[in-house]
Amino acid sequence: MATLSSNLLFIAFILYLAATLFYGGSIKAKKDINEKKGTNRWGTIAVFLTIVGFISQLGYFITRWIAAGHAPVSNMFEFTTFFGMALVGAFIVIYFIYRTTLLGLFTMPVAILVIAYASMFPKEITPLIPALQSYWLHIHVTTAAIGEAILAISFAAGLIYLVKAIDQTKSNKRTFWLETVMFSLVAVLGFVAVSSVFSGIGYHEKFNWTDKHDNQTVVEYTMPAITGPHEGELLTKDGFKPLIEMPAFINAKKMNTVIWSLMAGLILYSLIRLILRKRIAAALQPLVKNIKLDFVDEISYRSVLIGFPVFTLGALIFAMIWAQMAWSRFWGWDPKEVWALITWLFYAAFMHLRLSKGWHGEKSAWLAVIGFVIIMFNLVAVNLVIAGLHSYAG
C-alpha cells in the first residue's frame, strides 16, 4: 500500500509538470485568455492533466491514510504534500469560476515546488506521538492547510497583477521586491536540487548534542554542517566541522538546511539571470500582456474572501479547541501559534484595507504576495528552525 501511495504521488507530480507546459502553450495560443466561454485546445489539455493529477494525488492521500491508520498530515512530508494537493484543488475550483488558464501557469509551478520541497523530508510512515492521537488532527490540520491553499491562489493572482503592472524598463523598489519574490521561489528549487545531490552521494554525519532541556541526544546531518548543534560533538570520522554553533532553542540541523537552500537558490538564480539576461519578472511579462488587471484583482480578492474564514476555522478556532483538550490551555505562545495569529491578523488587515480604505489594484496585489510570504515563513522557518511544541511536524 505504501508503494502504491508513493507511485500515485509521483504520477501526480509528473502530470502537474506536463500541465504547466500546456498552460504555457495555451497562453501563446491566439485565443483570448480572458474569454469566459470555452478554452483553446492547449488549455483544455492542461486542465484535464491537472484534474487527473489531482485525482492521482487524492489516491495517494487515501492509500497512505489506509497504510498509516491515520490522516497523513502528521509530519513535514505529509503536511506539505497535502498543502500542495489542496493548492491544486483550490485552483481547479477557481478555474471553473473564472476560466483563465493564465492562473494555472502561475499556480501550478508553486504547487510543483511545494510537492518537490515535501519530497526532501523523510517519507517513512511512523506511529503518531501521543499529542497527535486525536480526531482533531484531521480537522485542525486539514482545514488550516485548505485555508492556506485558497489564500495561495490570491498570491498567484497578485503575482500576475504585479508582473503586468510594474514597469520593468527601470530599476526601483517595486522591481526589486518583485524580483525578491521570484528569488524566493527559485530558492525552494535550490533546496530541492542541493538536497537531491547530497542524498544521491549518501552524505551523512552524526553529532552528539545537548538540547534545551539539557538532554543528550544524537542528530544525523545529511548536508555538511555549516551550523552545528548546541554543545555538539562530531561523531563521524573526518566529518565536516560546523562553522557556527547554534543555541539550544534553534534547530541547528534545519537551520543548516535553510542556509544551504539559500546558497543553492542564489547560484541557481544567478544562472537563470545569466541565461535570460533580464529579471525573471521581465521575462514573464510577455505572458501576461493580454490579461485584464481588474480581472486578476477580483480573483485575488475573492480567494482571500473564501480562504480567510476557512483559515480562521482551521488554524485558530479548531487549533484552540484541540490545544485545550491536549494541553489544558487554549493558547500558549508557542512559535507556531504566534505565527498562525500573525497570519490571521495580516489577512484581517488585508480585508479591512480592501473594504474600508479602498486598497484595490497594486496595493492589494502586494498584500496578497506578502500574505503568502508569511504563510511560507510559518511553514518553512517556524517549522524548521524554531523549536517548540509543534516541532514534531518536522
Q: Is 250 helix (H, G, I), strand (E, B) or coil?
A: strand
- Give the separation between CA 348 and CA 150, rounded to whole angstroms: 15
Q: What is the pLDDT of residues 139-181, one digit of tens each?
A: 888 999 999 999 999 999 999 999 999 998 888 999 999 999 9
pLDDT bin (cut points 50, 70, 90) of residue 376 is confident
Q: What is the pLDDT of residues 72-130, one digit of tens each?
A: 888 888 989 999 999 999 999 999 998 888 899 999 999 999 998 888 788 888 777 66
DSSP E strand stretches across 122-236: 205-210, 216-221, 227-228, 233-234
Max CA-CA distance within the chain? 65
pLDDT of residue 61: 93
What is the dihedral angle through the alpha carbons of 340, 312, 16, 65, rounded to the nearest 10 degrees?
90
pLDDT of residue 213: 67
User: Which is more confident, 328 or 186?
Assistant: 186
pLDDT of residue 67: 87
Residues 103 and 288 sit within 8 Å (Cβ to Cβ): no
Q: What does the block give as the cell for 54?
A: 489531482
* Of residues 263, 176, 196, 193, the one with CA closest to residue 227: 263
pLDDT of residue 394: 43
Whose cell is 480526531? That residue is 135
Q: What is the pLDDT of residues 208-263, one digit of tens each?
A: 877 666 777 788 888 888 888 877 778 887 778 888 888 777 777 778 888 888 89
- Give the separation between CA 74 and CA 56, rounded to whole angstroms: 21
Q: Which of the residue ranges 40-44, 92-96, 189-193, 381-385 would you say has the lowest mean pLDDT? A: 381-385
Q: Could you tell me the pTM of the whole model?
A: 0.85
pLDDT of residue 36: 47
137: how many CB neighbours lie within 10 A of its CB? 17
pLDDT bin (cut points 50, 70, 90) of residue 31 is very low
- Give the separation between CA 178 and CA 182, rounded to whole angstroms: 7
pLDDT bin (cut points 50, 70, 90) of residue 381 is low
Whether residue 391 has pLDDT greater than 60: no
Instruction: Read off the pLDDT of each residue in 52-61 and give the average, rounded to a whole number.
Output: 95
DSSP E strand stretches across the chain: 205-210, 216-221, 227-228, 233-234, 244-245
240: how many CB neighbours lie within 10 A of its CB? 15
